[in-house]
């Protein structure tokens, strides 16, 4: 049991897109330790939290052994006596354009890194939520509209992106095995495509690039054709789902978090052009390896067992993203250019 009023919560990958939003939400009720190696995260995502008395950042790679009691900056968290109460694992590089650059790091994060973080959960008897991905279901199927958690996906583990797709499947196996072997309260969130402020620019995710290019009246690039479609869930909704999952019973099993609305990216791009009053055109380029057509989630389990449904409408989420980009446009462009070096 925690000896202090607030829980100690570790968020690995906490300086990333979703991770930083999760840290921002958790800091309202908990003491948050954010661990990240900045492979695809960025200090600008958490700079507003760095002076918060209940927040600490540790620059560290989960692939290396993790001894939280050895970091002097965590002394005020009294880890040795209070331990950790919760761990959210989001540590895995994700980069559509630089996928090849992070192949080995991705492989390691989904195996050695998973072991290190799970060992921490065992040591402190902490509740654990792992962020898996919709890729475990394999590519979109013509005869199947929605994926349920019990569906068995078909993934070719020897493709160039197998380190991520099969890696996410293996990381789920590790969670299940640790739960059984150590009676660990460990859960799995299968996250579908997410958008919102702090998404990396110029990385092939398209929606943040649509916005900044529309503001500059530049061409909006779709990596695919006019029929490329996907689901998009606003980041605040995903964060809400992760927190609800942490509080759920231990035996809940994997849970889908995402939107089941099928959207053509061409329509999203057009909507952004209208919302920004842009004169941009939409052009098409060769699909990126990482940007494959994925299925849509059946979210009935999340609704029934967590009381969770996405609440943010696409128009509202895009407006929040546009407002953020307008406010931080010079910084975002500079950061994006640095990330692409």
Catalytic residues: 164
H-run or E-run covering 116? helix 114-124
Compute the distance between CA of residue 200 and CA of residue 209 in angstroms, rounded to an integer: 9
Distances (CA, A) of 329 to 18, 171, 245, 315: 20, 36, 34, 20
| Count of C-beta atoms within a 10 Å radius of residue 152 | 8
| Count of C-beta atoms within a 10 Å radius of residue 109 | 28
Q: In what order do the strands lie in the sheet with 86-89?
A: 55-59, 31-36, 8-12, 86-89, 127-133, 186-191, 255-257
Residues whose CB is less than 8 angstroms from the CB of residue 301 and which lie 6 or more positions away in sequence, other chains included: 148, 149, 255, 256
CB 234 within 8 A of CB 194: yes
Distances (CA, A) of 51 to 43, 71, 201: 13, 17, 26
Tokens representing residue 174 in the block: 């590790």
């Amino acid at each position: 049991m925690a000896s202090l009023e607030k829980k100690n919560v570790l968020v690995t990958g906490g300086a990333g897109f979703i991770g930083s939003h999760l840290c921002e939400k958790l800091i309202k009720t908990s003491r948050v330790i954010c661990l990240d190696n900045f492979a695809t995260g960025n200090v600008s995502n958490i700079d507003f939290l760095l002076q918060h008395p209940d927040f600490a950042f540790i620059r560290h790679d989960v692939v290396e052994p993790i001894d939280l009691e050895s970091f002097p900056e965590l002394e005020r968290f009294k880890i040795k006596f209070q331990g950790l109460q919760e761990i959210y694992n989001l540590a895995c590089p994700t980069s559509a354009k630089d996928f090849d650059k992070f192949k080995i790091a991705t492989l390691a994060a989904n195996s050695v890194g998973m072991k290190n973080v799970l060992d921490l959960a065992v040591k402190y008897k902490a509740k654990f939520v792992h962020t898996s991905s919709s890729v475990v279901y394999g590519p979109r199927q013509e005869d199947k509209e929605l994926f349920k958690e019990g569906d068995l996906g078909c993934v070719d583990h020897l493709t160039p992106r197998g380190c991520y797709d099969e890696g996410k499947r293996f990381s789920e196996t590790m969670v299940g095995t640790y739960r059984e072997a150590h009676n660990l309260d460990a859960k799995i969130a299968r996250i579908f495509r997410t958008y919102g402020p702090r998404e990396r620019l110029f990385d092939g995710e398209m929606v943040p690039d649509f916005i900044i290019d529309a503001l500059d009246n530049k061409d909006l690039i779709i990596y695919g054709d006019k029929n490329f479609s996907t689901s998009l869930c606003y980041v605040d909704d995903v964060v809400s789902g992760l927190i609800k999952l942490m509080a759920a019973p231990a035996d809940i099993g994997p849970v889908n978090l995402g939107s089941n609305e099928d959207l053509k990216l061409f329509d999203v791009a057009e909507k952004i052009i209208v919302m920004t009053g842009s004169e941009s055109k939409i052009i098409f380029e060769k699909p990126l390896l990482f940007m494959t057509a994925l299925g849509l989630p059946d979210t009935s389990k999340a609704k029934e067992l967590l009381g969770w449904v996405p609440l943010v409408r696409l128009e509202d989420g895009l407006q929040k993203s546009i407002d953020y980009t307008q406010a931080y446009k010079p910084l975002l462009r500079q950061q994006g250019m640095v990330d692409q070096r």
